[in-house]
Homo-oligomer: A and B are copies of this chain.
Amino acid sequence: MNDNWNNKRLTRQIEFLVEVDKLKSVTRRTFLIDKSRNENVAEHSWHISLMALLMKEHADNLDMDLYRVIRMLLLHDLVEIDAGDTFAYDAEGYLDKEERENAAAQRLFGILPDDQRNEWMALWREFEDGITYESRYAAAIDRLHPVIHNYYTGGESWQKNRIFRSQVMKRMAPIETVSETLWTFTLELLQRAVDKGILLDDTGDEED
């Protein structure tokens, strides 16, 4: 598939660019808001990058490095080319998720020139570790995004997979650590989803 171009570094970068085109064919459980089809991971990566820009004023730490956030969001899901998209509520899939994604990161970023491989791998690792404020803000956006899709599709993916509010709440935890405003919004949205009957409630009086 790949040619050897006269510029050696460029040859590896072009090979990488061509390889990551495959992310457009990795599908998520989330639906487009018009419900016409499932979302793919590449367009999801675009949407959350834009969302991170859109929501920046709501970050508790306004000094964050948003450029680093965007870079993390653009590349953090590349590993799904090999590892596939692990559904957020698939406990079994999560058992070997880390192992599969580590191998994928080694292979994919390994296509790049060495210095660039190290730089991109470090950004991916920072996102996965979730220690820096930037990586937690990025994760918060990544997790809030499908909840908004679910809400505006009438709970399409929640219902198909029988997801309960407590599961979503647990998954949304990073949001509380980065933004009071977005956390308040998340709680409001989940309450409205339960009230509309599009999200199963296991936190009220009726169950457990």
Contact = CB atoms under 8 A, between A and B. Distances in A.
A17 interface: yes
Contacts of A34: 21-22, 25
Chain copies in the assembled complex? 2
A66 B57 CA distance: 21
Interface size class of A (residues with CB under 8 A): 35 or more
Interface stretch (A7-15, A86-94, A126-134, A155-163): A7-15
A200 interface: no
A74 B45 CA distance: 10
Interface string A20-49: 111111000000111010011011011101
A170 to B, nearest CB: 22
A18 B148 contact: yes
